[in-house]
Amino acid sequence: MTNSFKEFENAKLFFCIGTNMTEAHPVASYFVKRAVKKGATLIVADPRRQPLADHAKIFAQIKVGSDIAFLNGIMNVLIAEDLYDKKYVEENCEDFDSLKAMVKEYPVEKASKLSGVPVETIVEIARTMASIKPGMLCYTLGITEHTCGKNNVMSTSNLQMLLGNIGKQCGGVNPLRGQNNVQGACDMAALPAVFPGYQSVADPAVREKFMKAWKVASLPDKPGLMIPDMMAGLPTKKVRAFYIFGENLANSEPNITHVEHELSSAEFIVCNDIFPTETTRFAHVVLPAAAWCEDEGTFTSSERRVNRVRKIKEAPGMAKPNWWIFKEIAKRMGQEWQSEGAGEIWDNEISMLAPAYGGIKYSRIEQDGLQWPCPNVEHPGTEFLHRDGKFSRGKGLFKGIEWTPPAEVQDKEYPFVLSTGRRLFHYHTRTQTSRAGLDMILPEETADISPADAEKLNIANGEYIRVSSRRGSVKVRARVTEQIPGGMVWMAFHFRDGNANWLTNNVFDPETKTAEYKACAVKLEKER
């Protein structure tokens, strides 16, 4: 997030696209709903009429995968009606002409046809956003989980730069991160092209710094593989050993049949985990790990805030902290690491090596955490980025973006579009929530369909149906709900049975390698 949660309460306008905040980030949604009660304007764009839409002044029920066309349509109106922030664009941005030329190709009628949003709604959104400044744009995985995910993200930035909303309190582009420490895992460089703090592996000076700190003679300089390519390398033996730390890939990756083929063909898999999972079945060695509450440490939240996590009990049996497991493997491969425990790792390594955390020390985050960038110990942390439109890279770069459809669209054989996500009462593959009593509220998966389609196919609410794609088929109960428009099915990936990922399409954004969880073609049948 460029901005912070505490700004939500005082925001004047929200544009929420592809974020089912009420279920996936409930506490964030409280602040949005409260702001609306105090008079803020909420615009929601989503294929489903999800709960946040009930609080919205304008709800745009966009077609799955039409985000770029829809956003280009809004920007077309902003430019055509001269409503954009000319001063901000001139002073702080570059390549405006690239954007202008592209969005010209998306007159509002065309944007309406592609997105399914009425012309007058697109125009109303543009005029509303131009008249209430600044506005906060929030998105979640509805934007990123597409083959055009990166382009979707860039389109949201285009819109906020055009409106002059970046670098301002209660503005910005705010992706709500899905997992408690997905931000932190990025920051810590569990990524193939950077060292901690987003320092490029290609930069010789950076490598030099880390070689010295880690007391090693060399460090690899070319970017490594991303998850889909790692897994594709298992059957071909390009990847011979695969280390999976706390991820249940066999349920969470798209196209489970294909994923399990890859995992089962691996020469050597090591898993660190707290529970046996569908993924540890494929392991050659399983290492028992300490869980939340069994180790000191830090998580970094969506708003870049480094928060403390504390230990209240010992790990069960022989289970050990993960940092210890990695340190022990390093030792057996010839390296003695000094830091013992998370506090030493953070204070003596991470905050020394990554300038953005230079000022974050355990002693400073006993209470509220600090938000990076926080370069020195006097620095109060950064509530919002790009202050006054001064972008980290210099000028904000516009890029005209062409809309592209999902890789697989509906046809005669598979006439429905399947989109997926999370529900309030479970978390991911339920490794945790199924063992904390939440099954009592939500005991099984459903396929959510529209009343119109239920009637057409003679499907009753709660009845078992069969949902099939080119990759698989599941038996699952139908949940008939007004949230879903005709022609769409919506499912989650919490349960092994009826998991959406038996059906999802293992195609990826070419650059980010994010899978297209949000769009594939399926058919529905009554289960006999």
Partner 1 sequence: MGKTFIIDDREIAFDGSKTVLQIARENDIYIPSLCYHPKLGPASKCRVCVVEVEGIRALQTACTLMPKEGMKVNTSSERVIDARRMVVNLLLANGNHNCLSCEVNGACELQEAAYRLGIEIPAFVVEEREERDESGVFIMRDPGKCIQCGRCIEGCNRLVVNEVLDFGYRGGHTKVICDGDLPMGQSSCVQCGECVQLCPVGALIEKKGMGKARTWETKKVRTTCPYCGVGCQLELHVKGDQIIRVTGVEDAQPNQGHLCVKGRFGYDFIYSKDRLTTPLIREKDGFREAGWDEALDLVAGKFKQIIKESGPDAIAGVSCARSINEDSYNMQKLFRGVIGTNNIDHCART
| Token pair for 209 | 């710094």
Contact between 500 and partner 1 by CB under 8 A: the answer reads no
Contact between 305 and partner 1 by CB under 8 A: the answer reads yes
Q: Min. distance of Cβ 499 from partner 1 in angstroms?
A: 15
For residue 262, how many other CB atoms are within 10 A of its CB? 24
The region of 74-82, 321-329, 388-396, 463-471 touching partner 1 under the rule CB under 8 A is: 321-329
Q: Which is nearer to partner 1, 168 or 177 (CB)?
A: 177
**Three-state DSSP class for residue 92:** helix
Q: Which is nearer to partner 1, 16 or 122 (CB)?
A: 16
Q: Which is nearer to partner 1, 17 or 438 (CB)?
A: 438
| Sole binder of partner 1 in the list 119, 270, 407, 452 (CB under 8 A) | 270
Contact between 250 and partner 1 by CB under 8 A: the answer reads no
Q: Min. distance of Cβ 417 from partner 1 in angstroms?
A: 19
Q: How far apart are CA 253 and CA 273, in angstroms?
A: 17
Q: Are 165 and 172 in contact (CB under 8 A)?
A: yes
Contacts of 433 by beta carbon, 8 Å cutoff, 6+ apart: 425, 426, 427, 439, 494
Contact between 369 and partner 1 by CB under 8 A: the answer reads yes
273: DSSP letter: E
The region of 85-93, 164-172, 273-281, 494-502 touching partner 1 under the rule CB under 8 A is: 273-281
Contact between 502 and partner 1 by CB under 8 A: the answer reads no
Comparing C-alpha atoms, which of 171, 173, 175 is closest to residue 140?
A: 175
The region of 110-118, 182-190, 387-395, 474-482 touching partner 1 under the rule CB under 8 A is: 182-190
Query: Within its chain, how far is the Cα of 455 from the centroid?
Result: 34
Contact between 431 and partner 1 by CB under 8 A: the answer reads yes
Strands 505-508 and 515-516: antiparallel
Q: How far apart are CA 511 and CA 22, in angstroms?
A: 30
Q: Min. distance of Cβ 94 from partner 1 in angstroms?
A: 26
Contact between 192 and partner 1 by CB under 8 A: the answer reads yes
Contact between 337 and partner 1 by CB under 8 A: the answer reads yes
Q: How far apart are CA 11 and CA 184, in angstroms?
A: 26
The region of 129-137, 160-168, 408-416, 429-437 touching partner 1 under the rule CB under 8 A is: 429-437
Contact between 362 and partner 1 by CB under 8 A: the answer reads no
Q: How far apart are CA 514 and CA 326, in angstroms?
A: 27
Contact between 178 and partner 1 by CB under 8 A: the answer reads yes
Strands 396-397 and 370-371: unpaired
Number of residues that bind partner 1 (CB under 8 A): 145
Contact between 468 and partner 1 by CB under 8 A: the answer reads no
For residue 244, how many other CB atoms are within 10 A of its CB? 23
Contact between 407 and partner 1 by CB under 8 A: the answer reads no
Q: How far apart are CA 385 and CA 471, in angstroms?
A: 42
Q: Which is nearer to partner 1, 309 or 407 (CB)?
A: 309
Strands 268-273 and 305-309: unpaired
Contact between 348 and partner 1 by CB under 8 A: the answer reads no
The maximal CA–CA distance of the chain, rounded, in angstroms, is 68
The distance in angstroms from the start CA to the end CA of the chain is 48
| Sole binder of partner 1 in the list 303, 408, 445, 448 (CB under 8 A) | 303
Contact between 204 and partner 1 by CB under 8 A: the answer reads no
Residue ranges in 33-92 that form contacts with partner 1 under rule CB under 8 A: 33-34, 37, 55
| Sole binder of partner 1 in the list 345, 418, 507, 521 (CB under 8 A) | 345
Residue type, 497: D
